[in-house]
Amino acid sequence: SRKQAERFHQQLLNHYLRAHAGQADSAQEITVAIVGAGA
């Protein structure tokens, strides 16, 4: 749903910004898999 997509986008952006700022736990990792022709 749109709400789920917006929440995912916000969480992904937050993780990216924390990692970029050097605040992320070094043991954490983000894995993204894009599935489907429309992705």
- Domain interval for residue 21: 1-39
| Global pTM value | 0.55
State residue 10's pLDDT score. 94
CA 3 to chain centre: 15
What's the total number of domains in the chain? 1
pLDDT digits (tens, 9 = 90+) for 1-39: 889 999 989 998 888 888 778 755 556 677 778 787 665
Tokens of 25: 């736990």
- HEC string of the chain equals CHHHHHHHHHHHHHHHHHHHCCCCCCCCCCCCCCCCCCC
